[in-house]
Amino acid sequence: MLAYTIYISFFGALVVLLMPKGSRMAIRTVALLCAIAGFALALTAFVQHGTGELTTVALAPWIPSLGIHYHLAADGITLCLVLLTGVVAIAGVLFSWNIEQRVNEFFAFYLLLIGSVYGVFLSYDLFLLFVFYEIVIVPKYFLIAIWGSTRREYGAMKLAIYSFVGSAMVLVGLIAAYVVAGSHSMDLAALASYRYPLHFQMWAFPLVFTGFAILAGLWPFHTWAPTGHVAAPTAASMLLAGVVMKLGAYGCLRVAMTLFPLGLSSWGFHVLGFGSWRDVFAVLAVIGILYGALVALVQSDFKFVIGYSSVSHMGFILLGLMTLNQIGITGAVVQMISHGLLAGLLFGVVGRMLYDRTHTRELGKLGPMNLSRALPFATVTFVLAGMASMGLPGFSGFVAELMILIGAWRVSPLLAIGVGLGIVTGVAYVWRAMQKAFFAEATTIIDPHPPAPITLPEKLGTGLLLASSIAVGLYPQMVLRLIAPALNTPLFSGLHGGGW
Amino acid sequence: MSTNLLALLPELVLTITGVLVMVLEPVIPAGKSRKPLGWLAILGSLLSGLAAFYQLQIVNAQGTLTAFYSTIQIDPFSIFFHLLIAAVVLVTLLGSLDYFESPITHAGEYFALVLFGAVGMMFMTSSVELLMVFIGLEISSISTYILAGFRKGRATASESSIKYFLLGSFATAFFLYGVALIYGATGSTSIGPIAAGLAITRTPTMAILAVAMVLIGLGFKVSAAPFHVWTPDVYQGAPAPVVGLMSTAPKAAAFAVLLRFLFNGTPMLHGHWILLIEILAVASMCLGNLGALKQHDVKRLLAYSSIAHAGYLLVAFTGTHQNAVAGACFYTATYAAMNVGAFLVLSQLSGFSERIRSIEDFTGLALKRPGMSALLGFFLLSLIGIPFTGGFFGKFYVFSGALQNGHVWLGIVGLANSGVACFYYLRLLAAIYSRPTSDSVAYIPVRKVTAPAAVALAATALATLGLGILPNKLVHLVERATPTTTAAVAVQPTQQ
């Protein structure tokens, strides 16, 4: 049934495209129904699936002579991320309820993006995974280039080029892996069980990992992310930060680390204190955490604050992966879910609730508008979301960051200190943005045009995202029960080394 | 039917139709539509495609056919290219049937020249004798020289034609010189005997030089860098449907000759020519893509893209024999589908006058011509190499072949290039789908898309899509297309 998440989204895209131009309401409703259907399927599978072990969803030969199959499968990690996609997809439609321009095309691209994201998460054949991974780029590009705001063509192009270069690196690595293993199969399990020579893994791992990590906002290849997020329309930035960046992190874990686990082992020598690719990427991840947080601290554009905070939070995920112990990697997956929900929410507040009403994102201009009075709902939402993203207990961010912190501590206390500094800076930039935008010294002049009240779709979307984050925060076992068994399947056995 | 006739059946059909078109042309009074001639040409190309298909049945049943003292060899390899060329010609003719509905009176020549060009191209792919290849090359080249200048009275058209002719003649001279040298080195100009002669030759240096000469000559035809300088100017001046044709079919034929010559004729020199191929491939990919970045004229942009794609195709040559043939065949087919499609859209949009040419002219096009824009967008996505299009699978197939043979750095260079390439394709795509800046779209005259053109567009789009979603059929076909040299070697004594 889970395969229908993809089909429904693609079919919905087609339907929306063919609907008459004027019927905006009908188009939105169809898009919403598709998103809800995907969510319902994901939720059913999520609830029914008890163990988190791998189950095949669909399997058919595609290009038999090259060993390429249409193979969809789901394990616990997949299920969590598919459910995340479902939640963010619904929220995204609700937050773009006010799109008036070229509605057909907007929602067609939107659903195409959603469908491809489901496809990446569910693919178990690497060729198929790559196909979906590349398709994601197209709607992403158009959503920003057509419906975006600030420097949208620049942002869209930058994002597309970074994505293409990243996926080109991935493709080289995948083809090399396929060829070295004897060109029989592109199946993930088959390739992951092949024992690649050490020297091959030593160059293939960084290639594929970096290729995927570009999309996950790895410092210093993160620069597409803030500009892309800022240029994108609200729903697109929600998806971009919420799920698309997760595709990169997912690829790192699912493909790079399972195929080439030896690529993480020691080089046997030290360069500037780095003894392995693992050291390199872990340090880059910590730099990303700190750099993103510090840059977010000095931004004057509200959306750039959120954009850089995404870079910082994605750094947590990459660091969690590089801990190579169960708690760290589990934390990374929880952080994918948590950041997916919270980034969606934060972009929703800034892009939809504030920008669409006030037409500015300058913190300095938002302050005098006395928004805490004018838009109390937005204020409360941002305070809650901000607290969640700081990592306060009770929200999903806390669970994730704690696990990553413990995982990092086990590897090296130095890393954990870096992470701790990042968390503190995180508190600072959220606090600063909150204070400047919502609780600044209000001017005495009463705005003759008070912003329109928050609409029902916005409230629903907010509720959905917040509730999900709190649910994961209060009852993390809900996702942990699925993630842990998935990490103990043979697929990840290459990672089960000393520190596991 | 005698074997000789059977072996030349598709070419014969095309020649007869071409001559008929030429003969009938003066019969139609001036000022009357030349469309019936176009239909005749279409019928001819359709029949020649069927003839090639008939050959396939025979070859499947009886094995490889040889004819004319084994200078012509009909095997799955040559039939694949016959079918491809026939298809490209058919689609081009359908698409340009209404292209000349203006005071042009020499449209009949156009149809005949397209057919004659196709004869030459087909001939090239089935010849295993380099002198015959040369004849085919000349037939096809001379036709395309004239076609390039078909928008008479325009300076760019004359420039296009003259430039193509001068540089083209120069290149064919190189080819011929290479053939002469290889005769000197091996005592033969036939693929099989060349391979045999190379084993015992006492002048290997001369043979290497000969291979280099042949590579230069054919490198020009496929517009591989550094022999590519003519491409942008010629494509810019030539009529759009002709560019679609000449950027695909003659290139396919030249690639077919290269495949046969290098892998069947000079496998002993593999170590030498592989280096040249690598240099050509890297240069073409890099120069093509970098050159395209700065282009404003869409036809020039696509010309540079065509140079880059020649580079991707040359990457296929670095695989093993079977991989190289399969990869190159698949890529020529997909490239033909998407590039002919893209130029058909251009020709439909701007017509014979070609008023819409720069990227600025395309700004906001989607609002006025949504269908055409979607099609052009689709072909551009395929040229980028987005999944579910032929372009993606073609690239995957070619690069996996190269990597399989250990050319990792070539794969990295190639795929990094496709990252660069997305910039200029997306720039055009972005222009099409962005809001019109000024009156850029307003003055575009809307030409109605006629039924034949619609069929042609649909065929190219479906082919591009089909090759992307279900490449299996074609992969299966091209994997067994590897040509052999057995026949040519066996009948050597008859040449006394």
* pLDDT tens digits for range A202-234: 888 999 999 999 988 888 888 888 888 888 888
**CA-to-CA distance for B194 and B201, rounded, in angstroms?**
10
Cβ within 8 Å, pair A179-B434: no
Of A64, A141, A179, the CB nearest to B472: A64
Angle at B77 between CA B75 and CA B80, to 5 degrees: 110
Q: Residue A356's pLDDT band (boundaries 50, 70, 90)?
A: confident
Cβ within 8 Å, pair B408-A135: no
Q: How far is B431 from chain A (nearest CA, A)?
A: 10
| CA-based nearest residue in chain B for residue A175 | B400
Cβ within 8 Å, pair B422-A161: yes
Strand partners, A58: A72
Q: Contact B65/B9 with Cβ under 8 angstroms?
A: no
Cβ within 8 Å, pair B403-A141: no
Interface test with A, best of B323, B415, B470 (most A CBs within 10 A): B415
Which CA distances in Å does B82 have to B46, B47, B58, B395? 12, 12, 15, 23
**CA-to-CA distance for B416 and B308, rounded, in angstroms?**
12
The reply to whether A130 touches chain B by the CB within 8 Å rule is yes
The chain-wide mean pLDDT, for chain A, equals 86
**CA-to-CA distance for A81 and A77, rounded, in angstroms?**
6
* DSSP assignment of A93-110: HHHTTT--SSHHHHHHHH
Helices B249-259 and B321-350, packing angle to 10 deg = 170
Collect contacts of B286-294 with beta carbons under 8 A, ≥24 apart: B286/B225, B286/B311, B286/B413, B286/B417, B287/B225, B287/B226, B287/B228, B288/B225, B288/B228, B289/B417, B289/B420, B289/B421, B289/B424, B290/B420, B291/B232, B292/B421, B292/B424, B293/B420, B293/B423, B293/B424
Cβ within 8 Å, pair B430-A157: yes
| CA-based nearest residue in chain A for residue B475 | A65
Interface test with B, best of A179, A185, A208 (most B CBs within 10 A): A179
Residues 134-173 of A with CB under 8 A from B: 134-135, 137-138, 141-142, 145-146, 153, 156-157, 160-161, 164-165, 168-169, 171-172
For residue B157, the number of C-alpha atoms closer than 13 Å in the C-beta half-sphere is 15
**CA-to-CA distance for B227 and B217, rounded, in angstroms?**
9
Beta-carbon contacts of B291 under 8 Å, excluding residues fewer than 6 positions away, are B232, B304, B307
Interface test with A, best of B412, B413, B476 (most A CBs within 10 A): B412
Q: Full-prediction pTM beyond 0.90?
A: no
Closest CA to A227 of A161, A285, A284, A317: A161
Q: How many CB pairs under 8 A join A and B?
A: 81
Strand partners, B73: B66
Of A62, A132, A153, the CB nearest to B430: A153
Tens of each residue's pLDDT in chain B, 496 residues:
677 888 889 999 999 999 999 999 888 887 777 888 889 999 999 999 999 999 989 888 888 888 888 888 898 889 999 999 999 999 999 988 887 766 566 788 889 999 999 999 999 999 999 999 999 999 999 999 999 888 877 888 888 889 999 999 999 999 999 999 999 999 889 988 898 888 888 888 899 999 999 999 999 999 998 889 899 999 988 888 899 999 999 999 999 999 999 998 888 888 889 999 999 999 999 999 999 988 889 999 999 999 999 999 999 999 888 888 889 999 999 999 999 999 999 888 877 777 778 888 888 888 788 888 889 999 999 998 888 888 888 988 888 888 888 888 888 888 888 888 888 998 888 888 877 666 655 566 677 788 888 899 999 999 999 888 888 888 888 887 777 754 444 333 333 3
**CA-to-CA distance for A402 and A328, rounded, in angstroms?**
9
Token representation of residue B432:
């099409």
Closest CA to A80 of A423, A400, A403, A409: A400
Cβ within 8 Å, pair A135-B388: yes
Give the pLDDT confidence score for residue B490 in this predicted structure. Answer: 38
With a threshold of 0.90, tell me whether the complex ipTM lies above it. no
Which CA distances in Å does A230 have to A237, A372, A379, A436, B384? 8, 23, 20, 19, 26
**CA-to-CA distance for B322 and B170, rounded, in angstroms?**
32
Q: Contact A432/A299 with Cβ under 8 angstroms?
A: no
Sign of CA dihedral B130, B135, B138, B144: negative
- State CA A338 to chain mean position distance: 9
Q: How far is A14 from chain B (nearest CA, A)?
A: 14
Spell out the alpha helix ranges (H) of B66-154.
76-96, 107-126, 130-148
Strand partners, A69: A61
Give the pLDDT confidence score for residue A151 in this predicted structure. Answer: 80
A-chain CB neighbours of B427 within 8 Å are: 157
A-chain CB neighbours of B385 within 8 Å are: 134
Cβ within 8 Å, pair B416-A176: no
Please enumerate residues of B whose Cβ is less than 8 A from a Cβ of A: 381, 384-388, 392, 396, 399-400, 403-404, 408, 411-412, 415-416, 418-420, 422-423, 426-427, 430, 433-434, 471-472, 475-476, 479
- State CA B467 to chain mean position distance: 17
Token representation of residue B85:
């060329």
Cβ within 8 Å, pair A179-B475: no
Q: Contact A59/A429 with Cβ under 8 angstroms?
A: no
Residue A53 has pLDDT above 70, yes or no: yes
Strand partners, A168: none
